[in-house]
Amino acid sequence: MQDFLQQVVSGIATGGIFASLALALVLIYNAMGLVNFAQGEMAMLATFTALSLIQRGVDYWIALPVTLVLAFVGGVVIQRVVIRPVERAPVLTLVIVTLGLATLINGLAGFLFGYVPRSFPSPFSVQTVSILGAFASYQDLGVIVVSAIVLVLMYVLLQRTPIGLAMRAAAHQPEASRLLGIRVSWMLALGWGLASAVGAVSGIMAAPALLLEPNMMQTVIIYAFAAAVLGGIESPLGAVLGGLIVGVTVNLAGAYVPGVGGDLQLAVAFAIIIAVLVLKPNGLMGRGSVRRA
Amino acid sequence: MARMGSRLAALAAFLVAAGACGGSSAAQGGTDVGITATQILLGNTIAQTGPAAAYGTIANAENAYFTYVNNNGGINGRKVTFTVLDDGYNPAKTVPLTHQLIEQNKVFAMFSGLGTQPQVSVRDYLNSKSVPQLFVATGATTFNGDFSSHGWTLGWQPPYQGESRIYAKDILQNHPSAKIGVLYQKDDYGQDYLKGLTDGLGSKASTMIVDQESYDVTATVPSIASQLSKLKSKGADTLFIFATPSFTIGALAIVTGLNWSPLTYLNSVSNPAAYMKIAASKGAKLDGVISVNYIKDPTDPAWADDAGMKLYRTVIASCTTCKPDDGFNIYGVAVAYTMVDVLKQAGSNLTRANVIKIASSQLNETNPFLLPGITVTTTSSDHFPIMQEQVVQWTNGAWHLQGSLINERGTIS
Amino acid sequence: MTALRNAPPRYALVVLVVLFFAGLPTVVTSFQSLEWAGVLIFAIAIMGLNVLVGYNGQISLGHGAFMALGAYTTAILVHRYQLNYLVTIPIAGLLTGLVGFFLGIPALRLSPLYLALATFALAVVTPSLIKRPEGLTNGVQGIQLLPPDPPPLLSDVFSLVNGGQPMTSEQWLYYLSFAIALLLFWVAWNLIRHRPGRALRAIRDGEVAAAAFGVNVAGYKTLAFGLSAFYAGVAGSLYGLATGFVSPDTFPVSLSFQLLVGAVIGGLASIAGPLVGGIFTYWLPIVSSQFVSDQTWIPSQISAVFVNAGPAVTYGALLILIMIFAPNGVVGLILSGYRRLRDRLRGAGERGTGQMPPDHQTI
């Protein structure tokens, strides 16, 4: 029982990391009906940027907003330079371009920063608290709290502001939006910038637990895919819930399901993706899906 | 000198031709493919991209040592030319790249190829071509243990199984009632360590090991909390971590986070002080952690004035991409030292057969980058070059040598 | 992504290419034959991917998993059951094709984006799945395969044209791959030109319209998946034989990615594309990491660093550039260049826009 509770609590802690990256995926999806395969690598590069600043003596709390701004600008630039020329192309083209971007950024990070895992500072204490006899660190809880804050901000932005409405309109009804005077292409750029910034938050929050290196996000993105798909790929709340559920399920399946074992955690995430896509493609919180040609 | 060189080359070519025609066996002073009057060509495949790219720096460190030797007169007048190709840790690439090095670049020998699967994938080929596959960068036992069937292949570092037999001995001696939990990486590396531990505990293994949990290399670091929590719940009071550095750092922090304080054993690959310090910064309580060492740790201040460490610093300075504190780099320099030693001993008789003979049965070297007292030794019946290691314990923020060197020679074959 | 009208006089070209590949081992070394066998093996797998992606508009980022299945089928049958390796090649293809066919059924329900996600996840999870059934796959130890001996008769014939040198195992592997590639390219070409090809392309260009014209959409889509997997399975089987060793690390996620890059660079929905793609996929990482380090004028520090980042950066950048500037790949570029040149010579006023006109003919 003690172990069961610990499995759940640890799963929630890991799930927080998956959730935070899944939020960025959801944002891109809402902006242009696309899953960005380079999201994890962009987050990793942003985290390295933050580390470079910190190592040059910049205070953490200054480095953080500076990195977010840089990540936002980076996201906009990537959209303008790389995505815009193909934004009307079939989804296959877009998927290939984001995969190319992921490889490019991964290689670039290896080139710039090397592959030795590095320590990344955390604003939260490494002390642990006991929850009914199970333990979690403030760092773990901090990741979840930050994800919740990002979630609320995203909700307000997308649902309660004119710019959020314009973004959603541009994604769902680009032609009609154009007629209404919405600058569709810039809305997409805004979406990329925001997603990049949210991804940067995710990377910075996850790096203390993951250790920073170019391949840091390579499997996290699979869990984030599972989280986003499970939650319903256009729902930010769904992404967070999905992340936590994936984290807990992966732990429990590894620990208690006979024949699974800890070494098949990733396979469990894979099974979740397949099961949701086949049985309930809209996920837990999704409504209809935007379908691109 | 140049004329002399070309004559030597002509002689060499003649001898090779004579050998190829099934004539006399190579006499004293012969050479083989890959040896010219001025050069010794060595080849290497290693992961410099992809998931195992962190190991890639080993080849750069080895190259730094060869450069150092070349700049200081070379090996009996010849300079080492070291060709490194990136196989991304993928056997499907190791095979054609190795063929390329042997058949196109015409290297004399393969040196320090990385990884168990990649090196197994070319072992039969290299043996069929009678090309030395020297000092592979993996501790899988098969590379030394199967010397009788693969007489052109040799490992260098202490085999993983030998290392965990040392832990088994330590446990049986000092903690005979330990309840052991094992966290291991689900690959040849983790499984070899686990086998050594189980074999070393002998008949007591089944009662002493209460649980063993594995993780896959694709796991994310925080998710191994699941396995550790399970080990804790099974009542283990002694934890073995057979993992790569990132996972070891994570595991140490998570164990403390779970309010669990088992007696912890770490494998040597993950124990450089730099990694321990990262773990400490993540809240891990490390006092009392046990491991073994055979190589000097560049981050350990105890070696600050050590002649070997000073030489290492000099050597590694010529490699601009190498981080001097990275434990993989001193590994590379140390193994390159042994390679140079073998080539020096071969003298003017630089044939593949002679070099493998020296490496596999005539080594008796004191390597300045290894812990004092460790010798790199092979004999006609023993093909494990390094079989001594020293137990170390982490106290007050540093590793401290415990007891004397433990010799595992002869326990595995 | 569309195919091309006004193709150059292609039969002469085909004969030329076939002759080139047939004679190649007589001019390159034995080991280079093995490298070119790798090119042809990739070309087979990419042709499979091309059927699915180029002609049918479905996505797979997981074709490395199918290659793994094919390779392990051969390895297990040869190693454990002592079957002749030649027999195992079609078995590997058929088994993989069957698995692909059944995976194609749930794939029907997925939008292209979700299909990309699901197959990507499959590619990532493949190595850890291989490690599990240790009794069958030998786990992380992998399975070793002996280099096959060339058939004596072929070896004798070969030595006649090769100055008396008998055929090596590498050269035999090359000719085996060449023969199978030739057969499978011919099959694909025939399929594409006839009724099934038209149905596949009609589905790609609009499922609803295709269904309205009486095309069995579900049937053809699963068929495309199965056929595509068959090609990948055969390629995997040859890949295992050529490497002489199969292990989980032989099939990383980057393999699936390389195949997709090859399909795109060569040119989707063309028969020549996969061959060009195979050449690129095989040689690009080797050239980008070795070429630079061989250039003595580049300071060694810079080239050393470039080697660390080279293949990944080159791959990524090339992929993006091709998608933006030449969505029809290298074959598309060459053909549009040829057409423009011809139009110019004929004095035709029509200026090409760089984009292909929509056309369902196929070369």
Q: What is the pLDDT of residues C166-210, one digit of tens each?
A: 888 999 999 999 999 999 999 999 998 888 899 999 998 888 899
Q: Is B67 on the interface with C (CB under 8 A)?
A: no
Nearest beta carbon to residue B214 from set A211, A247, A263: A263
In a domain, C201, yes or no: yes
Greater model confidence, C110 or B249: B249
Number of residues that make up chain A? 293
At residue B14, the pLDDT reads 40
Question: Is residue B128 scored above 90 in pLDDT?
Answer: yes
pLDDT band at B323 (very low <50, low <70, confident <90, very high): confident
| Residue C121 bridge partners (DSSP) | none
- Residue B121 with chain C: CB contacts under 8 Å: 142, 144, 243-245, 247
Write down the ipTM of this complex.
0.88
Helix (H, G, I), strand (E, B) or coil at B398: strand
Nearest-CA distance B38 → chain A (Å): 34
In a domain, A213, yes or no: yes
Q: Is B261 on the interface with A (CB under 8 A)?
A: no
How many domains does chain A contain in total? 1
Question: Is residue B16 scored above 60 in pLDDT?
Answer: no
Greater model confidence, C216 or B18: C216
| Residue B78 bridge partners (DSSP) | B75
For residue B44, the surrounding DSSP H or E stretch is strand B39-46
Give the other-Cβ count within 10 Å of C359's Cβ. Answer: 11
Total beta-carbon pairs less than 8 A apart between chain A and chain C: 143
At residue A279, the pLDDT reads 85
Is 3.40.1390.10 the CATH classification of the domain at B2-158+305-382?
Answer: no
Dig out the tokens for C281 from the structure: 């996929």
Q: Which among C8-12, C73-77, C343-347 has the top mean pLDDT?
A: C73-77
In a domain, C287, yes or no: no
Nearest-CA distance B52 → chain A (Å): 9
In a domain, C41, yes or no: yes
- Burial of C167 from C-beta contacts in 10 A (0-12 / 13-18 / 19+): buried
At residue B299, the pLDDT reads 85
Give me the domain span that covers residue C108.
Answer: 10-252
Enumerate residues 1 to 60 of chain A having a beta carbon within 8 A of any beta carbon in chain C.
33-35, 37
Greater model confidence, A54 or A183: A54
Q: Look-up: residue for tokens 């369902």? A: C360
Nearest beta carbon to residue A222 from set C112, C121, C313: C121
User: What number is the average pLDDT over the span B192-217?
Assistant: 93
What is the CATH classification number for the domain harbouring A82? 1.10.3470
Mean of the per-residue pLDDT values for chain A?
89
Sign of CA dihedral B235, B238, B242, B247: positive
Greater model confidence, A42 or C253: A42
User: What number is the average pLDDT over the span C309-330?
Assistant: 80
| Interface residue of C63, C119, C120, C321 to substitute, partner A, most A CBs within 10 Å | C120
In a domain, A58, yes or no: yes
d(CA C158, CA C152): 10
Q: Which residue of C has its CA nearest to A92?
A: C59
Question: Is residue A31 scored above 50 in pLDDT?
Answer: yes
Nearest beta carbon to residue A289 from set C61, C111, C319: C111
- CA Rg, chain C, in Å? 21
User: What number is the average pLDDT over the span A8-24?
Assistant: 93
Question: Is residue C308 scored above 70 in pLDDT?
Answer: no
At residue A105, the pLDDT reads 94
Contact A97 C57 (CB under 8 A): no
Contact B92 C127 (CB under 8 A): no
At residue B23, the pLDDT reads 35
- How far is the first Cα of chain A from the last one, in angstroms, to the nearest whole number? 49
In a domain, C90, yes or no: yes
Mean of the per-residue pLDDT values for chain B?
88
Contact A95 C59 (CB under 8 A): yes
In a domain, A207, yes or no: yes
Q: Which residue of C has its CA nearest to A278?
A: C106
Q: Is A19 on the interface with B (CB under 8 A)?
A: no
Q: Which residue of C has its CA nearest to B103?
A: C31
| Interface residue of C245, C294, C303 to substitute, partner B, most B CBs within 10 Å | C245
CATH 3.40.50.2300: which residues of chain B? 2-158+305-382, 160-293+390-407
- Residue C111 with chain A: CB contacts under 8 Å: 91, 281, 289, 291-292
Mean of the per-residue pLDDT values for chain C?
85
d(CA C61, CA C264): 12
Per residue in C128-174, pLDDT (tens digit) is 899 888 889 988 889 999 888 888 888 888 888 888 888 889 999 99
Contact B219 A10 (CB under 8 A): no
Q: Is A133 on the interface with B (CB under 8 A)?
A: no
Enumerate residues 305 to 324 of chain B having a beta carbon within 8 A of any beta carbon in chain C.
320-321
**Quick check: C49 and C225 in contact, CB under 8 A?**
no
Percent of chain C scored above 70 by pLDDT?
A: 87
d(CA A1, CA B14): 78
At residue C112, the pLDDT reads 84
Q: Which of A18, A37, A35 is nearest to A26 (CA)?
A: A35
| Interface residue of A4, A111, A120, A211 to substitute, partner B, most B CBs within 10 Å | A211
Helix (H, G, I), strand (E, B) or coil at B280: helix
- Residue B216 with chain A: CB contacts under 8 Å: 262-266
Contact A264 C132 (CB under 8 A): yes
At residue C356, the pLDDT reads 42
Greater model confidence, A101 or A115: A101
In a domain, A287, yes or no: no
Nearest-CA distance B373 → chain A (Å): 30
User: What number is the average pLDDT over the span A187-212?
Assistant: 92
At residue C107, the pLDDT reads 86
Percent of chain B scored above 90 by pLDDT?
A: 68
Contact C323 A278 (CB under 8 A): no
At residue B12, the pLDDT reads 43
CATH number for the domain formed by residue range(s) B160-293+390-407: 3.40.50.2300
Contact A265 B225 (CB under 8 A): no
Contact A277 C118 (CB under 8 A): yes
Question: Is residue C293 scored above 90 in pLDDT?
Answer: no
At residue B274, the pLDDT reads 84
In a domain, A284, yes or no: no
Q: Which residue of A has its CA nearest to B235?
A: A3
Per residue in B143-166, pLDDT (tens digit) is 988 999 999 999 999 999 999 999
Greater model confidence, C79 or B217: C79
Per residue in C55-77, pLDDT (tens digit) is 998 889 999 999 999 999 999 99
Q: Alpha helices of C132-206 — where are they, by DSSP H?
A: 134-137, 152-161, 169-193, 195-205
Contact A115 B54 (CB under 8 A): yes
At residue C305, the pLDDT reads 55
* Beta carbons within 8 Å of C282's beta carbon, 6+ residues apart: C35, C38, C39, C42
At residue C310, the pLDDT reads 61
Helix (H, G, I), strand (E, B) or coil at C198: helix
In a domain, C61, yes or no: yes
How many domains does chain C contain in total? 1
Per residue in A119-158, pLDDT (tens digit) is 999 988 888 888 888 888 888 899 999 999 999 998 898 8
Q: Which residue of A has its CA nearest to C312?
A: A107
Give me the domain span that covers residue A10.
Answer: 2-279
User: What number is the average pLDDT over the span C276-284?
Assistant: 89
